[in-house]
Amino acid sequence: MNAAAQSAPVVEMHGVHKTYRLGAHTIAALRGVDLCVRPGELLALTGPSGSGKSTVLNLCGLIDTPDRGDILLHGRAVQGLDEEARTLLRRDALGFVFQSFNLVPVMTVAENVAYPLFLARVPPAERRARVQAELAAVGLQDHAHHRPDALSGGQRQRVAIARALVKRPRLVIADEPTASLDSRTADQVLDLMRERGHAEGAAFVMATHDSRLTARCDRVLNLLDGCLS
């Protein structure tokens, strides 16, 4: 990747508005949000429940669409894409890390990490090599054949991070990634996300209430009543 591509924004939001209908009521989730996230950046979104954090994640993750405004993923406008194109873009360019890990319990650690590559039809030999390298990077190469229920919470989140990064995404969406972890484990997971994000040039956009996470991020933005500051 050349220098211009390395510094170009991973995701941009320009004047984004989003409303939801709740019965007879209309709720303004976002009110003209502007956002720019660059490669390798760890960005934390804070704010009270209902402030719009999850809406920003859903829009950046191509799970939802705005009512007004523009969203660009690595310079490509995503408005107007049909559902198949959005699904392929999510598959190829995005990674996801969840509070509850979302690992498949009947799969081994290696199989969980390999699953996005299987969906992307990566050849088996390359799949095995990339999974092995990613597990080594998160310190779980000795647990490749274990099932998730044999791991600690911190180890499961490491697997989730490896699964998110194994397909070499441009952007990782993380929803409260440390909420279910104790302080020591949360610190380790945050260090890992920071180190892997910087090493691989993947940006992390994270919604959190966790001050341990915000203290280690490159940038912290606050959402209140659908406005970003």
Encode pLDDT of 161-214 as tens digits: 999 999 899 899 999 888 888 888 888 888 888 888 888 888 999 999 888 888
Which one-letter amino acid corresponds to residue 222? N
Tokens of 96: 């996801």
Give the pLDDT score at 212: 80
Q: Is 94 left (phi over 0), alpha (psi -120 to 50) or beta?
A: beta
Encode pLDDT of 89-105 as tens digits: 998 889 999 888 899 99
Q: What percentage of the chain carries pLDDT values higher than 90? A: 63
0.85 surpassed by pTM? yes
Tokens of 50: 């209902």
Work out the burial of residue 186: count CB atoms within 10 Å of its CB; fewer than 13 is exposed, 13-18 middle, 19 or more buried. buried
**In b/e form, how buried is each residue of 161-170, taking b as 16+ CB within 10 angstroms?**
bbbbbbbebb
Average predicted confidence (pLDDT) for the chain: 90
Query: Binning pLDDT at 50, 70 and 90, where does residue 6 land?
Result: low
| Residues 6 or more apart in contact with residue 179 via CB below 8 angstroms | 99, 208, 209, 210
- Where in the chain does DSSP place strands (E)? 11-22, 25-37, 42-46, 68-73, 76-77, 94-98, 171-175, 203-207, 219-224, 227-228
Give the pLDDT score at 3: 47
Report the first-to-last Cα separation within the chain, whole angstroms.
32
Domains of the chain by range and CATH?
A: 3-228 (3.40.50.300)
Mean pLDDT of 39-47: 93
Mean pLDDT of 33-47: 94
Are the beta carbons of 137 and 200 closer than 8 angstroms? no
Report the SS3 class of residue 38.
coil
Are the beta carbons of 192 and 157 closer than 8 angstroms? no
Encode pLDDT of 128-139 as tens digits: 999 999 999 999
